[in-house]
Amino acid sequence: MIAAAFVLLSLAGFAFLYRLLIGPSVADRVVALDGLLMVVICGILVDVVDGTSVVSIDTVLVVSVVAFVGTGVLARLVERQGG
């Protein structure tokens, strides 16, 4: 079941990466980057469930804060110079 979770997460990661590469506007890329960081958070958590992880669970907190701050800053960028 952990393997199935990793397969689902990697498909979602490719979907966000596709939108990040082709996205017509900067705003599309910001949305895709935020979603990609969600995939990273979920990947770390699934790795913790797997049991053999060397990554601490506190990393999730850091990635979550970085995702929020990045989205806020890039939204300001979109608002200032257009998408």
Residues of this chain that bind another protein (CB under 8 A): 1-2, 4-6, 8-9, 11-16, 18-19, 24-25, 27-28, 30-32, 34-35, 38-39, 41-42, 45-46, 48-49, 51, 57-58, 60-61, 64-65, 67-68, 71-72, 74-76, 78-79, 81-83
- Pick 24 or 54: Cβ nearer another protein: 24
Nearer to another protein, 1 or 54 (CB): 1
Q: In whole angstroms, how close is the CB of 51 to another protein at the nearest point? A: 8
In the complex, the smallest distance separating the C-beta of residue 54 from another protein, rounded to whole angstroms, is: 15
CA-wise closest residue to 6 among 41, 58, 47, 34: 47
Long-range contacts of 70-77 (CB under 8 A, 24+ apart): 70/33, 70/34, 70/37, 71/30, 71/33, 71/34, 74/26, 74/30, 74/33, 75/30, 77/26
